[in-house]
Structure 1
Amino acid sequence: MDQNRTAGRTKDDTDALIALLDIADGIPGASELRARSYELLGIAPDAAVADVGCGSGRAAAEIAERGARSVGVDPDERMIAVAGERWPDVDFRVASAHALPFADGALDGYRAEKVYHVLDDPAGAIGEARRVLAPGGRIVLIGQDWDTFVIDADDAALTRTIVHARADLVPAPRIVRRSRNLLLDAGFADITVEAHTRIFTDAAMVPVLANLAEKARSAGSISGAQAEAWIAEQRERGRRGRLFLALPLFVTAATRR
């Protein structure tokens, strides 16, 4: 995550985020998506690969298991400490996506998952990725478009308001739409984009939906009564097995010329 987004975070905040990341890592399809990103990196034995915004380190550890010299990078010192405790054989370093601790052309692979939407300067981070990648090195970016939560609800207009209001609280909510063009601008080649949609129909996702509505309420985009009614409907849908949430994730990959 971007250094500017971690400066005011407390230990409890980071621990709560780690708990959420652990849940996200375990939801259906998550491990398959990570595996697909490793395929796109084209990891060779002893390749130098960085997982940027590595969080608590799972992907960096899985990359190391594939024979690479894996380095996990994150600006949050607490994140790096937890990652080091969990995966003591992996190299973890505190650093920002805009100032990576690698020499020019030092890496064969660069991976960033659910990172670029929190960056203040995504184009600058792409430039830094190009700097540290060797010619022929691969970059893989994974993220969601925050305007494309697909939710079944009785009030479609209110649901659109909630989704867009939540998106507007994110520094770069639509960065996945720009990723291909940013890579083109930076001189990358062989650019591909894949969509992997996760569909959820059980009550386990009610807290996620409730959080969307609460964020929209706190931003003043909807009233407290609207938020309460919308959340109550989603809880009831979850109880009856009628909830529907689809979340597209986009994987953009390219080669450093």
Structure 2
Amino acid sequence: MLTRPDPITYLDHAAEAGRAYKQRLLDSLDLRPDHTALDVGCGPGTDLPAMAERAGAVIGVDLDQTMVEEARRRTAGLPVEVRLGDAHALPLDDRSVDRARVDRVLHQVADPAGVLAELRRVLRPGGRAALAQPDWETLAVDPGSTATNLAFNRFICDRIMTNPVVGRQLARLAAAAGLTVVTIDTEALLLRDFATADELLGLTRNTHRAVETGRITRPAADAWLADLTAGPFLATFTLFRVVVSAA
């Protein structure tokens, strides 16, 4: 049985792979020294120091106590406060933050619309938030069987991710929550190294899980993984970036 990677290590490696889009997401917030900025689902605090370089005060919120403790360790001495809390019920007062980011969090939550409503509640009038989400149905890998690739995607969307296509829904859900959509952008994230893609996308471990549930046959799975490891390899998927503002 293949085990999941250590969560903190996984998030650090995912942040490194997504460094370029994260920079664009940060830039879109237009942080200033008089701002209080919020990172919803801050994880181990990977992005908090960069926010603290631009904003006067930064608040990170995460549901996992281990993540909160690691984020506090990494931001010791910085103008950062890390709070234990649920994105559906943020531990902040109404209209208390100027900027917020929600990066690769909404595919995991029970109610994305509820999280966006909370975001609107805590943003000050004129405040801005930057949202980023992959669309897991768009995952494309090469080489290997296209049919197995599609079966793998269907398994991920049906059985692994809570909200696998919330990326494409971001703008609509944000508008329904009372936020004003400022910009919508997409970009294709590209991975050329199988080992990195395997860690971040769970290609091997989730293919084996798909076999165990009867979604992919063992011969098809073995052939697909053998092709992917033989390379040359690439994997790509669509990332949606949406910037919103509060009235």
Instruction: Normalising by structure 2, report the TM-score.
Output: 0.91
Any idea what SS the aligned residue of 1:147 has? strand
> Who is 1:61 aligned against?
49
Any idea what SS the aligned residue of 1:146 has? strand
The CA deviation string for residues 140-162 of structure 1, in whole angstroms up to 9 with x for no partner, is 11110010111123321121011
Q: Which moved more, 1:87-96 or 1:212-221?
A: 212-221
Is 2:114 aligned against 1:124?
Answer: yes
8 Å CA contact 2:117–2:178 kept in 1: the answer is: no
Is 2:103 aligned against 1:113?
Answer: yes
Q: 2:68 is aligned with what amino acid?
A: I
Q: 1:42 is aligned with what amino acid?
A: D
Call closer, same or farther: CA 1:199–1:43 in 2, change over 3 Å: same
Residue in structure 2 matching 1:217, options 211, 218, 225: 211
Residue in structure 2 matching 1:100, options 84, 90, 93: 90
Q: 4+ runs of 1 displaced by more than 4 Å?
A: none
Q: Following TM superposition, by how much is the alpha carbon of 1:248 offset from its aligned partner in structure 2, in angstroms?
A: 2.0
Any idea what SS the aligned residue of 1:71 has? strand
> Who is 2:166 aligned against?
175
Q: 1:74 is aligned with what amino acid?
A: D
8 Å CA contact 1:153–1:159 kept in 2: the answer is: no
Residue in structure 2 matching 1:156, options 143, 146, 149: 146
* Unmatched segments (≥5 aa) in structure 2: none
Is 2:185 aligned against 1:194?
Answer: yes
Is 2:22 aligned against 1:41?
Answer: no
Q: Following TM superposition, by how much is the alpha carbon of 1:206 offset from its aligned partner in structure 2, in angstroms?
A: 5.2
Q: 2:23 is aligned with what amino acid?
A: A
> Who is 1:9 aligned against?
none
8 Å CA contact 1:206–1:234 kept in 2: the answer is: no
> Who is 1:19 aligned against?
9
Q: 1:188 is aligned with what amino acid?
A: L
Q: RMSD in angstroms over aligned alpha carbons?
A: 1.8
Q: Following TM superposition, by how much is the alpha carbon of 1:227 offset from its aligned partner in structure 2, in angstroms?
A: 1.8
> Who is 2:74 aligned against?
86
Distance 1:199 1:34 in 2: 14
> Who is 1:7 aligned against?
none
Q: 2:16 is aligned with what amino acid?
A: G
Q: Percent identity, please.
A: 31
Is 2:236 aligned against 1:254?
Answer: no
Distance 2:211 2:34 in 1: 49
8 Å CA contact 1:166–1:215 kept in 2: the answer is: no
Call closer, same or farther: CA 1:53–1:157 in 2, change over 3 Å: same
The CA deviation string for residues 187-212 of structure 1, in whole angstroms up to 9 with x for no partner, is 22243111121222233335243234
* Unmatched segments (≥5 aa) in structure 1: 1-11
Call closer, same or farther: CA 1:145–1:190 in 2, change over 3 Å: closer
Instruction: Normalising by structure 1, report the TM-score.
Output: 0.87
Distance 2:220 2:50 in 1: 43
8 Å CA contact 2:174–2:181 kept in 1: the answer is: no
Any idea what SS the aligned residue of 1:111 has? strand
Residue in structure 2 matching 1:145, options 115, 132, 135: 135
Any idea what SS the aligned residue of 1:225 has? helix
Distance 2:193 2:55 in 1: 37
> Who is 1:8 aligned against?
none
> Who is 1:232 aligned against?
226
Q: Which moved more, 1:115-124 or 1:186-195?
A: 186-195
Call closer, same or farther: CA 1:211–1:191 in 2, change over 3 Å: farther
